[in-house]
Amino acid sequence: MEYTRLGRSGLSVSRLVLGTMNFGPRTTEADSHAIMDRAHEHGVNFFDTANVYGVTPGDGVTEAIIGRWFAQGGGRRDRTVLATKVYLPTGDRPNESGLSALHIRRAVDASLKRLQTDHIDLYQMHHIDRDTPWEEIWEAFSVLRQQGKVLYYGSSNFAGWHLAQAQEAARSRHFLGLVSEQSIYNLMNRWVELEVLPAARAYGLGVIPWSPLNGGVLGGVLRKQEAGAASRGDSGRSAATLARHRDTIEAYEKVCADLGEDPAHVGLAWLLAQDGVTGPIIGPRTVQQLDGSLRALQITLDDATLAELDELFPPPAPNGPKAAPEAYAW
């Protein structure tokens, strides 16, 4: 396993992040525990979850599954860098969503109870809260750090200027601030290259891509269709995306075939090659899927392949990713 620092922090994390969204809704508790055990065997130490993951939003099922796994002992908690999130609704009543000091306090205590631990390593804001001032948010977060309940803070789904706001507000309080930003990022969705990725690099934040295979569309969906195998890319929004971009996906899978590599592994390897990326989130439903994902760490894409992928999936900046965020400034 390869490890890197999480942003400018001293925290060492694996370059693949175990996502747990499937734990409960699509993967049984027993299988979820097996996946986490195998992740540790592979050296994956960075686990990502959220207080709203579960069968229904806010039921906390996924965190509870992880908590019962920790309770088995064997050094499971000590070997895990645990990340969870706060913001999305956990109920219908007032103060059961957002980033008010009240909701943060209640949400962190509820997560700690479900996770059966005394602290969270990385506490992430699941979304920007446009109604709560940064002074309130950082004060609430500083109290949690003083109490030993949270060690580091991160964001998710922030715009570049949100990162700047957050960091400057933290700086005014002499607070470490954010160490990471979790954004949707993949070959088909490269908008973070305009401002989020440059802002994260400037402020020393590690970037954690979610949906690295764009809902399964970059995971070899056409090859799986030909083989009669089920794929996430066959249904819902992924199916609509595939219908619109079928020719591009066909060309992408040919590039991967020429490399002799699985499209899913190439998609992950491409993210690992991007400056500022800590590690993409993989969300295996089975131990076998987890095992397969490790191949991405062994793939090195040469300049010619990276250029070919840029042609298939052009970056949003007019002059390429290196032009951001000044691409439209003069």
User: Per-residue pLDDT tens for 70-89?
Assistant: 999 999 999 999 999 999 99
Q: How far is it, in rounded angstroms, from Cα 294 to Cα 111?
A: 29
- Please check whether residue 32 lies inside any domain of the structure: yes
The residue ranking higher by pLDDT, 330 or 281, is 281
Contacts of 189 (CB under 8 A, 6+ apart): 211, 214
Amino acid 233: pLDDT: 59
- Does the residue 327 lie in any domain? no
Please compute the mean of the pLDDT values over residues 15-25 and round it to a whole number. Answer: 96
- Identify the band that residue 134 occupies on the pLDDT scale cut at 50, 70 and 90: very high
pLDDT tens, position by position, 247-257 = 999 999 999 99
The alpha-carbon radius of gyration of the chain (Å, integer) is 20
The residue annotated as part of the active site, out of 3, 53, 152, 153, is 53
Confidence of residue 228 (pLDDT cuts 50, 70, 90): confident
Q: Residue range 128-134: average pLDDT?
A: 96
On whether residue 319 sits in a domain, the answer given is: no
pTM for the model stands at 0.92
CATH number at residue 251: 3.20.20.100
Say if 326 falls within a structural domain.
Answer: no
The parent domain of residue 134 ranges over 3-314
In a domain, 126, yes or no: yes
- Return the pLDDT at 311: 94
> Is residue 291 included in any domain, yes or no?
yes
Let me know if residue 328 belongs to a domain.
no
Per-residue pLDDT tens for 157-199? Answer: 999 999 999 999 999 999 999 999 999 999 999 999 999 999 9
Alpha-carbon span 293 to 290, nearest angstrom: 5
What is the tally of structural domains in the chain?
1
Residue 321 in any domain: the answer is no
Q: What is the mean pLDDT of the chain?
A: 93
* Whether residue 55 has pLDDT greater than 70: yes
252 a catalytic residue:
no
